[in-house]
Structure 1
Amino acid sequence: MAGGDSAAKLSSTTGVRIVVAGDRGTGKSSLIITAAAESFPTNVPTVLPPTRLPDDMFPDRVPVTVIDTSSRQRVLPSVTLVSKNILAHIRVYSNGSFIARIVKVPVIVAGCKLDLRDEQQAISLEQVMSPIMQQFREIETCIECSAYRHIQIAEVFYYAQKAVLHPTAPLFDQETHTLKPRCVRALKRIFILCDHDRDGALSDAELNDFQVKCFNAPLQPSEIVGVKRVVQEKLPEGVNEDGLTLSGFLFLHALFIEKGRLETTWTVLRKFGYNNDIRLGDDQLLPPIKRTADQSVELTSEAVEFLRGVFTLFDIDGMTFSTAPESPWSEAPYANAVEKNALGGLSLDGFLSEWALMSVLDPVLTVENLIYIGYAGGPSAVRVTRKRQVVRKKQSSERNVFQCFVFGPKESGKSSFLHSFVGRPFSEVYMPTTEEQYTVNTVDQPDGTKKTLILREIPEDSVEKLPSHKDALAACDIAVFAHDSSNEPSWMRATELLVQVASHVESTGYEVPCIIVAAKDDLEPNPTAIQDSTRVSQDMGLEARIPISTKLGDFNNIFKRIVRASEHPHLSIPETEAGKTRKQYHRLVNRSLMVVSVGAAVAIVGLAAYRIYPEWERRLQLLG
């Protein structure tokens, strides 16, 4: 495999911006002028304006702009830091002076004024820089130069440009001399895509196709033999009877990088759509999905079937995301959202539920990860559902995934309710909810199908913020209000939350079905709470409270009842007194308008008759 110029295309439109910094008198400006004008300056200004270097100075012919800095500046110019262009940094020193302030971009350390160095000086650049390079991994290269004698001036900027176009840090760990995990994952995906017959090895024909795709030139048979011989000598398992194995493919890239041929690996990555972060570029992914606040996103049946196949092949060993930059489920809200077995593995339902949750919360991330694991359908992976307001008018929902917001006061049993949904054992330890958390699972339906239900626990304090967020409940298909059935204050607070939420949805138009859940039914029930809840349910037009006990595992079919209510969103809509008054007012206004309209119609008909009557009377008189 050989390198090419495709890696440079990443920056061919924007160019490379290189910042040169260092102490006073180290030769920064002289270095820049000599590179740009190919002559040593006699008069050097304090700070140069941005300077464009000749395009033919570099083999990649990528535009390079150099930014000079003042030695008085302790911070790089803000224009370079906020620039969207790729950026490298040259740190200049002379006569042993070195500034150890390092920025988070590739760094080239240039030892200027090589012509003034005493030949008897025992300290070399390598000796000076070795401990510093150990401390600052951003340093890519150290090089000595002389602007006065034109020694290695072009090389300084070549290495800076190369550090931008072909950086080492994303690919290789220089301490362990191994490929970094994200690089391994990307190369593994590329290997799988090129292994057309899926036999776990790249045949000679597949190797040649890969070479042509990446470098626009075929491999000669002797070159293929040579490549496999090199691998087999160093790594016997890197080649088998079918061709180059994955381990051999990865070994080759590590070898290229160690020999300084990073452009080879970067060319391969960029040909397959990867950017400098070793993620697929925006042009490979979906644009932001357009949807209103009360629309949701679900996986299509094609994507679900693909994922079923992926689970069968890979997820038993937890290898689903071995070709993605990392697992998207390693952190909240996904890390603890689904049911897991004793070994931490997922069932098929749990696997599909996790994907359903990600599709609702971040559909672009969902499609990105589907592409990483081999889905070729792209946009066909997801669909946008109808607006919830439309669904309520039609009085039925075609959705497969429902999102339930769970409200309730502290210690009402909300968290236990969520945990029970994914099979976690009951715990007596109280852990206050400070931020939203999710659980998701499938719910069997009477017709044998499954619906996916997402439970989203809302901290009590968040309800106070509803008035300032019009769309806060737009994503909610149904709301559950939980309270401790043995505790009257818990019920009273749950009622307050119910009224607050109902008032909010009445004012915004995002009407939400509601269910009252009496948790901790294993404790002695509070009679006042029972009576009040019955009255409130009747007054607000809701079903009677549903008693459950997560401790005893008695759920009273609550999850099926939540799904059933979600499928019929025109029912169980709570009405507050203010809402009833408002509706009554609107009915009176409508009746008044109707009366006015009827009266106006009668008047118009009468006026028309009045006008017509004299005309007929005149005609009759003429006939007589």
Structure 2
Amino acid sequence: MAGGASASGAAGNAVRIVVAGDAKTGKSSLIVTAAAENFPTNVPPVLPPTRLPEDLYPDRVPVTIIDTSSSPENRGKLVEELTRADAVVLTYACDRPETLDRLSTYWLPELRRLEVKVPVIVVGCMLDKRGDQQPVSLEQVMSPIMQQFREIETCIECSALNHIQIPEVFYYAQKAVLHPTAPLFDQEQQVLKPRCVRALKRIFILCDHDRDGALSDAELNDFQVKCFNAPLQPSEIVGVKRVVQEKLPEGVDDRGLTLTGFLFLHALFIEKGRLETTWTVLRKFGYNNEIRLRDDQLPPPIKRYPDQSVELTTEAVEFLRKIFFTFDVDGDGALRSAELEDLFSTAPENPWNEAPYVEAAQKTALGGLSLDGFLSLWALMTLLDPIRSVETLIYIGYGGDPSSAIRVTRRRRVDRKKQQTDRTVYQCFVFGPKESGKSALLNSFIGRPFPEEYVSTTRDRYAVNVIDQPAGVKKTLVLREIPEEGVKELLSKKDALAACDVAVFVHDSSREPSWEKATEMLVDVASQGEATGYEVPCLIVAAKDDLDPFLTEIQDSTRVSQDMGIEAPIPLSTKLGDFSNIFQRIVRAAEHPHLSIPETSAGKSRKQYHRLINRSLVFVSVGAAVAIVGLAAYRVYAARRNSSS
């Protein structure tokens, strides 16, 4: 791990550095002296963009420097340049303390206000003007500002007139872009950041070919050749291990360099300012500046119609089964919180610690995830965010071609025509007014107890589980709860129902207004399906069956279901645990997508109209055929008559 290799190209083809600061703080002189290596005698107010020679710095990445004016009339241009910057150099004049004060009172807050989230290099220009009678410790002056503004990467003083530390200014700026500190290291705590640790742990595991928990001399050498294109001499390997062992005895054991030692070495490089070493390693293993896998490591964007979904392949599911049992250390058939964190410890974060996954699957009595719960969450993530799903698979060790982990299903429109589907994951939209029992239905689906207090759902929520089918077949059902206030917005989108396999309409069977609202939603959804061609099977759920129904409930619901040509409402009580087989019925409706599709009166009229038009066309074509036959007969008759005369 000698380091020192270039990381050029990883952060783009060129680095754009914008120089800003108060008027007459030496911006233009700084730029000209860096580019021409001569102090200018006559400098224009604002320089045009300036390119530095490519061979000036070891990374050999083109650097373009943008000069700016701080005058009010040029503010628009200044803002535009700052928002396009890869790094910002902020200048102050060493002999004018008020220009230094302006950095913390104006310039740095302004960058934050404009949301310019790039490294900042603070540069004191005209060091020659300060004179020896004003001795100042740069560290003393800058330390409070750097504490307040963590975006400051480096502070440096220079003199264009005396050629003091001019190339260094832009070297630090370029280095801050190509090898930024912020993603890797917590300056305050003086430790590697969690995401950096996770990426390095994954790299360590990939390089530990014999899986013995340590990098042997041969494995260390392979790692060095892969990252830095140069082998380590035996004496260098001994030297590296000695450095680690002296500071951290557990960093080396009889098998080689341990993960702890590997991480310690990287922290050491970073503390010594050799960030390029760690960045070179990360980039060789496909990471970008956010310490996530670059796009070229992932499948290309998935081309599909809105009514196609994405599922994991058998190959990916088999990999996940093995992973599950590998990390189920106590062998209790469930992954508890610590085991799950360990499983995702080589990913940038545990993706299931956030919505919509965090509360979407069934937990065991001890709070773990069963194999079905584990695979359900993977199915949900693949449905909602397939590329992230594949990315996470790679982080946890999936070694196959990334594209082999997922498949795009057949269009739902085709499924309806063929009257069958080959999907294994079904998505059901759950509609209904407030307090109708939607959330209780989702909770019961994933084994949550019936809540005593009502809590309103304000955003889409998911619940996912495996449904056992006859002959041992398993299907995954995803329930998506649509809050009442979200229905209008959802249906305003043309493709709103494209991803839906079944729509369920829940109403409180004891309250007539709840039924009326649910019916209204059913008609809206059916109309949307008819208008866009994304018709979906629909089921009505009469919830709270433990309460007395409203007076005309049975007549009303029977009439609506008959009029629309769908199944009668399914009564259930989540409070009593009486579910009328609802989840199997939802899956059955999804498996036979041509059934249970409601028809509105407008849809029926439209169908009748089309039938009428088609019938007229049949009459026209029959009439035309009769005319043609008559014409042929006339010709035959005429021919015969002519021949006989």
- 2:386 aligned with 1:328: no
- 2:177 aligned with 1:154: no
Contact (CA 8 Å) 1:89, 1:105: kept in 2 or not?
A: no
Partner of 2:535: 511
Partner of 1:47: 46
Partner of 2:91: 91
Partner of 2:594: 570
Alpha-carbon distance change, 196 to 506 in structure 1, aligned in 2, over 3 angstroms: same
Partner of 2:18: 19
Alignment length (residue pairs): 619
Partner of 1:9: 9
Alpha-carbon distance change, 564 to 262 in structure 1, aligned in 2, over 3 angstroms: same
Alpha-carbon distance change, 127 to 216 in structure 1, aligned in 2, over 3 angstroms: same
Alpha-carbon distance change, 250 to 295 in structure 1, aligned in 2, over 3 angstroms: same
Alpha-carbon offset, residue 51 of structure 1: 0.9
CA distance in 1, matches of 2:91, 2:325: 53
Encode CA deviations 1:439-486: one digit per residue, 9 max, x unaligned: 111111111121000001112233334653221111110011111111
CA distance in 2, matches of 1:466, 1:285: 30
Within-5 A mapping of 1:152-551: 152-314=165-327, 315-316=335-336, 317-318=339-340, 319-341=342-364, 344-377=367-400, 378-465=402-489, 468-551=492-575
CA distance in 2, matches of 1:531, 1:274: 63
Aligned AA for 2:424? N
Q: Helix, strand or coil for the counterpart of 1:52?
A: strand
CA distance in 1, matches of 2:251, 2:478: 45
CA distance in 2, matches of 1:413, 1:89: 58
Encode CA deviations 1:41-90: one digit per residue, 9 max, x unaligned: 1112211111111222212221111111113367873443443x733434
Aligned AA for 1:36? A
Aligned AA for 1:257? I
Encode CA deviations 1:248-302: one digit per residue, 9 max, x unaligned: 1101000111111111000000111111111111111122211111111100011
Contact (CA 8 Å) 1:15, 1:86: kept in 2 or not?
A: no
Encode CA deviations 1:295-319: one digit per residue, 9 max, x unaligned: 1110001111111111222244112
Alpha-carbon offset, residue 501 of structure 1: 1.1
Contact (CA 8 Å) 1:298, 1:385: kept in 2 or not?
A: yes
CA distance in 2, matches of 1:71, 1:399: 61
CA distance in 1, matches of 2:358, 2:373: 12
CA distance in 2, matches of 1:33, 1:158: 15
CA distance in 2, matches of 1:165, 1:496: 57
CA distance in 2, matches of 1:581, 1:31: 78
Q: CA RMSD in A?
A: 1.6
Aligned AA for 2:460? E
Alpha-carbon offset, residue 390 of structure 1: 0.3
Partner of 2:59: 60
Q: Helix, strand or coil for the counterpart of 1:191?
A: helix
CA distance in 2, matches of 1:526, 1:458: 25
CA distance in 2, matches of 1:352, 1:49: 58
- Kindly, what percent of the aligned residue pairs are identical? 74
Contact (CA 8 Å) 1:521, 1:549: kept in 2 or not?
A: yes
Aligned AA for 1:164? V
CA distance in 1, matches of 2:390, 2:25: 51
Aligned AA for 2:81? T
CA distance in 1, matches of 2:431, 2:93: 62
Match of 1:115 among 128, 134, 138: 128
Alpha-carbon offset, residue 343 of structure 1: 5.1
Partner of 2:70: 71
TM-score with structure 1 length normalisation?
Answer: 0.96
CA distance in 1, matches of 2:480, 2:31: 58
Contact (CA 8 Å) 1:412, 1:519: kept in 2 or not?
A: yes
Contact (CA 8 Å) 1:18, 1:90: kept in 2 or not?
A: no
CA distance in 2, matches of 1:400, 1:327: 25
Aligned AA for 2:300? P
Aligned AA for 1:590? N
Contact (CA 8 Å) 1:339, 1:346: kept in 2 or not?
A: yes
Aligned AA for 2:295? D
Contact (CA 8 Å) 2:20, 2:90: kept in 1 or not?
A: yes
Q: Helix, strand or coil for the counterpart of 1:389?
A: helix
Contact (CA 8 Å) 1:321, 1:373: kept in 2 or not?
A: yes
Gaps of 5+ in 2: 112-116, 328-334
CA distance in 1, matches of 2:363, 2:81: 48
Aligned AA for 1:611? R
Alpha-carbon distance change, 75 to 347 in structure 1, aligned in 2, over 3 angstroms: farther
Q: Helix, strand or coil for the counterpart of 1:420?
A: helix
Partner of 1:31: 30
**Which moves more between the two structures, 332-341 or 594-603?**
332-341
TM-score with structure 2 length normalisation?
Answer: 0.93
Encode CA deviations 1:379-419: one digit per residue, 9 max, x unaligned: 01110001111001111111100000111111110111111
CA distance in 1, matches of 2:495, 2:360: 24
CA distance in 2, matches of 1:324, 1:536: 51
Alpha-carbon offset, residue 192 of structure 1: 0.9
Q: Helix, strand or coil for the counterpart of 1:500?
A: helix
Match of 2:638 among 600, 614, 622: 614
Q: Helix, strand or coil for the counterpart of 2:392?
A: helix
Encode CA deviations 1:338-382: one digit per residue, 9 max, x unaligned: 112355431111111111111111111111111111112200111
Q: Helix, strand or coil for the counterpart of 1:70?
A: coil
**Which moves more between the two structures, 45-54 or 335-344?**
335-344
Contact (CA 8 Å) 1:147, 1:153: kept in 2 or not?
A: yes
Encode CA deviations 1:579-615: one digit per residue, 9 max, x unaligned: 1121111111111111111111111111122112222
Encode CA deviations 1:178-231: one digit per residue, 9 max, x unaligned: 000010011011111111111111111111110000000001111111111111
Alpha-carbon offset, residue 246 of structure 1: 0.7
Alpha-carbon distance change, 240 to 14 in structure 1, aligned in 2, over 3 angstroms: same
Contact (CA 8 Å) 2:430, 2:482: kept in 1 or not?
A: yes
Q: Helix, strand or coil for the counterpart of 1:77?
A: helix
CA distance in 1, matches of 2:31, 2:56: 13
CA distance in 1, matches of 2:363, 2:281: 38
Q: Helix, strand or coil for the counterpart of 1:9?
A: coil
CA distance in 2, matches of 1:385, 1:457: 23
Contact (CA 8 Å) 1:203, 1:242: kept in 2 or not?
A: yes
